[in-house]
Amino acid sequence: MPRYDFRCRACGATFELRRPMAQANDPAVCPQGHQDTVKLLSTVAVTGAASAGGAPQQAPSAGGGGGCCGGGCCG
């Protein structure tokens, strides 16, 4: 069950709740009893977010047989 972070605008406390995604946008009540809360965008562990180091391997698309200069300097 995902967690959602909330912040109370009445007392400034932040708290998190575990609730089903269907209730993600339901109003949350501060542990202190305040109802003036806002939902924060938290970094929930989401699958498929390959952000760092996930560069796909590209095959080198060199046309011919190679060397550093195509045969001019290293042959």
Residues that bind Zn ion (CB under 5 A): 8, 10-11, 30, 32, 34
The nearer residue to Zn ion, 27 or 67, going by C-beta atoms, is 27
The nearer residue to Zn ion, 36 or 67, going by C-beta atoms, is 36
Query: Least distance to Zn ion from the beta carbon of 40, Å?
Result: 14
The nearer residue to Zn ion, 19 or 34, going by C-beta atoms, is 34
Q: What is the Cα–Cα distance from 27 to 43, expressed in whole angstroms?
A: 19
Query: Least distance to Zn ion from the beta carbon of 27, Å?
Result: 13
Q: Please state the three-class secondary structure of 5-66 as a single string.
A: EEEECCCCCEEEEECCHHHCCCCCCCCCCCCCEEEECCCCCCCCCCCCCCCCCCCCCCCCCC
Query: Least distance to Zn ion from the beta carbon of 42, Å?
Result: 18
